[in-house]
Structure 1
Amino acid sequence: MTSTPAAAGPFKITVQPSGRAFEANAHETILAAGIRQGVGLPYGCKDGACGSCKCRMLEGRVEHGPHQSKALSAEEAAAGLILTCCGVPQSDVVLESRQVTDESGYPIKRMPARVSSLARLSHDVMLVRLQLPANDAMRFHAGQYIEFILRDGARRSYSMANAPHTAAGQPGAVPPVGPGVELHIRHMPGGKFTDHVFGAMKEKEILRIEGPYGSFFLREDSDKPIVLLASGTGFAPIKAVIEHMQFKSITRPAVLYWGGRRPADLYMDDWLRAKQAEMPNLAYVPVVSNALPEDGWTGRTGFVHRAVLEDLPDLSGHQVYACGAPIVVDSARADYTREAGLPPEEFYADAFTTEADKAQP
């Protein structure tokens, strides 16, 4: 007797409780299939390194490609959790992902982008403004990101630091002024792309981008108070969310905790203090972990995610939006749900996973 080979697909993927459904082709990951069909599953690195795409499988079978145990442990896998970024369905699958909503999928576009300006925000952070084509607008949620497609096909991901309403161009102008996006790019010495940004990049340079990507954006169907948590350039998508809240007159209480090693790492502190004066619902708590005597720092110190717990030991009625280094995001997710009663589905995150992070075993 010969065994029947496994079906090759396509397989139907259903996401509860939204009821969104799509098909995954043979050997296609669930995440790739969802993105292709405009279903906004949560994700971060797309490489099995960060765990942002982790969700519960209610029915079906998947096979995982290579991934890090910190993203999905053996115990989590045994409990029915999967990574959609490297999980390939072997049957029809039903998932639970409360972050998937009917509004979350804007079409992903590939387009040229022109560098319109470069400005240093700190010794190692560059503000890069890109002008996009005037005749092919990219719609996005505040907090999403784009990917640069480099000449060798490699990709680099950066969050857009401005809200959609600020990105509008002037199509009637002569010549037409295309829409623009703002990026905050940290220099990683030896990094193929960031060495170029901080070295040879010039205004008017043409780059290729693709987007929008990511499931990090404000859920506007809730009235819960908001905790915004950022480390380093994780502030970029948070800035976009703050601009969006002000533009939409969203008055839910919101508090931003922004952490850096030294005060200079809080590179838009003045902007935030001005915004705080304009938005009575917004509070701002800067936190520095490694201040030196010459910094003259008299504010909060320590780990930024722990500062939240010092002020808000009960997060059971909050939403948390966290961006930055994976260690900060992962620690916040674990501590807030375990110690402060935050419902896991109310933790929204975008971990800034570098190429070095992805290369770890």
Structure 2
Amino acid sequence: MAHQIVIENIGHSLTGQSGETLLESLQRHGYKLRVGCRNGVCEICEVRLIEGEIVQSYPEKKLMLSNTINQTSEGVFACTCRPLSDVRVKIEGLECPGELLVKKLLCDITAIEKLNADVYRVRLQLPATASMSAEFYAGQYLDLILPSGKQASFSIGSAPDQGRNVELHIRHIPDSEMSNNIIHHLQNEKTVEIEIPKGDCYLQAHKISPDTRLIFAAASTGFAQVKSVVEHLLANQFSNPIYIYWGARVEDDIYLSNLPLQWASEHTNVHFERVVSESENSPNWAGRIGLLPSAILDDFSDFENVEIFASGSPAMVYALLEACEAKGFKEENMHSDVFAYAPRNK
């Protein structure tokens, strides 16, 4: 008979088949964990049984744990342990289906150029060897690691479809010692250490429903994340409607506006709007004036089949979410890294 396997520490559950070892069930569902001998001798695949009944072939063991107060967990080996009922387990270091391995790599710095008064475009090249190669999803970010050990996160501004080439958009803040150190390193060294990939706010073109409309809301250098995702969609001939909103204080902060304008001219499903909030400091500005949430609400009367990807400060992201919720938008349809590092206060 089939049984449920609840992985307590990550909140996932899966169905195991009668006679399967715990390892076989996990691997059949696409999970990966460290294994060695596969016969219980090396003890590498040890997991903690919290609740349920199991039989283990080596070392021979039969356990039945109930969900009671002060109940201690027991170590079992995934390769020789067979559940006899629904079980709850804790598995450290488990790699979930579709999850990419995070790696520390030394990358070549191939170019650094100024895009406006304070934003640099940095181009890196990932290592070519298979053992040191890295994968990422469109919308994820990486950490730059300086020789001092200090590190800073930046959205990846290129699509995974572009192979080993990675692009970053980095704003230089002269009053920040860390920012100065990052720019100095990138301008004067040939390589930089990175940790990649990171972030749960990403998109895969083949998983999007055919009737979904996508809205991308970017503030300032948040456009890097949007660029990665949109280029991934276009590389995969994505035909759903794509609406891009790029907001900034002044016109010069929209540092790559010709690129999304080109997307819109070449693809009928792409729409691009620039929004400036301080028009008094942009004397030649003839476009939309105001804040991103207002611009989006002016253009959308309903949010049926809409998913929003928001890249910006917590204040911007939550202001947009609340404004859209007032028109019936559901929070689960908004995606942003902000939700991970600055959870919403309810």
TM over 0.5: yes
User: Does 2:305 correspond to 1:304?
Assistant: no
Over the aligned positions, Cα root-mean-square deviation in angstroms equals 3.3
2:203 corresponds to 1:215: no
The 1:37–1:257 alpha-carbon spacing in structure 2 relative to 1, beyond 3 Å, is farther
Corresponding residue number in structure 1 for 2:9: 13
Distance, in Å, in 2 between the alignment partners of 1:250 and 1:15 is 32
Secondary structure at the residue paired with 1:193? helix
Q: Is the 8 A contact 1:322 1:329 kept in 2?
A: yes
CA distance in structure 1 between the partners assigned to 2:228 and 2:194 by the alignment: 19
1:343 corresponding residue in structure 2: 330
Residue 152 of structure 1 deviates from its aligned partner by 3.2
Give, as a single letter, the amino acid of the residue that structure 1 aligns with 2:195. Answer: E
After TM superposition, the structure 1 = structure 2 runs for residues 155-166 of structure 1, keeping only pairs within 5 Å, are 155-166=151-162
* Distance change (3 Å), C-alpha of 1:227 and 1:266: same
Structure 1 runs not aligned, ≥5 long: 1-10, 21-35, 39-91, 95-100, 169-178
Say whether the 8 Å CA contact 1:150–1:208 is kept in structure 2: yes
The code of the aligned residue for 2:172 comes to H
Give the TM-score normalised by the residue count of structure 2.
0.68
Please report the TM-score for the alignment, with normalisation by the length of structure 1.
Answer: 0.66
| Distance verdict in 2 for CA 1:230–1:293, change over 3 Å | closer
SS in structure 1 at match of 2:187: coil
CA deviation after TM superposition for structure 1 residue 15, in Å: 2.9
User: How far is the alpha carbon of 1:238 from its aligned partner?
Assistant: 0.3
Q: Any conservation in 1 of the 2:250–2:281 contact (CA below 8 Å)?
A: no
Seq. identity, %: 30
8 Å CA contact 1:316, 1:343 repeated in 2 = no
**Partner Cα separation in structure 2 for residue 245 and residue 162 of structure 1:** 12
Verify the 8 A CA contact 1:110 1:209 in the aligned structure 2: yes
Distance 1:279-1:153 versus aligned 2 partners, 3 A rule: same
Summarize deviations over 1:141-163 as a string: whole Å, max 9, x none: 01100011233332200011000
Aligned partner of residue 122 in structure 1, secondary structure = coil
> Any conservation in 1 of the 2:250–2:282 contact (CA below 8 Å)?
no
Contact 2:141–2:198 (CA<8 Å) still a contact in 1? yes
Cα offset, 1:335, TM superposition: 2.2
The residue that corresponds to 1:74 in the other structure is none
Residue matched to 2:190: 205
Aligned to 2:313: 325
Alpha-carbon separation, structure 2, partners of 1:93 and 1:265: 50
1:37 offset after TM fit, Å?
Answer: 7.3
Q: Which residue of 1 aligns with 2:180?
A: 195
Find the counterpart in structure 1 of residue 3 from structure 2: none
Cα deviation code 1:106-133 (max 9, x no counterpart): 1111111121101101101000111221
How far off its partner does 1:199 sit? 4.2
User: Hey, what's the Cα distance between the residues in 1 that align with 2:282 and 2:196?
Assistant: 42
SS at match of 2:279: coil
**Which whole-Å CA distance do the structure 2 matches of 1:236 and 1:221 have between them?**
21
- Alignment deviations for residues 41-91 of structure 1 (CA, whole Å, 9 cap, x no partner): xxxxxxxxxxxxxxxxxxxxxxxxxxxxxxxxxxxxxxxxxxxxxxxxxxx
Alpha-carbon distance in structure 1 between the residues aligned to 2:144 and 2:230: 25
Give the Cα separation in 2 of the matches to 1:158 and 1:324: 12
For residues 277-303 of structure 1, give each alpha carbon's deviation from its aligned partner in whole angstroms, at most 9, with x where no partner exists: 121111001000012365321211111
Aligned partner of 2:264 in structure 1 is 276
- Greater relative contact order (Cα < 8 A, sep 6+): 1
Over residues 181-227 of structure 1, what are the superposed CA-to-partner deviations in whole Å (9 max), with x where a residue is unaligned?
Answer: 10000112232332134446326532111110011222523231011
Pair 14,156 (structure 1): closer, same or farther in 2 beyond 3 Å: closer
User: Which ranges in structure 2 are unaligned for 5 or more consecutive residues?
Assistant: 1-6, 16-31, 35-87, 91-95
Taking the aligned partners of 1:210 and 1:228, their CA distance within structure 2 comes to 26
Select 1:117's aligned residue among 86, 107, 111: 111
Residue 105 of structure 2: SS of its match in structure 1? strand
CA-CA distance at 1:93 after TM superposition: 10
Report matched runs for 1:1-361 at 5 Å. 12-15=8-11, 19=14, 102-103=97-98, 105-135=99-129, 136-166=132-162, 168=163, 179-199=164-184, 201-202=186-187, 204-219=189-204, 220-223=207-210, 224-292=212-280, 295-337=283-325, 339-351=326-338
Alpha-carbon deviation of 1:180?
2.0
Matched to 1:344, the amino acid is: E
SS of corresponding position for 1:151: coil
Contact preservation (8 Å) 1:323, 1:352 = no
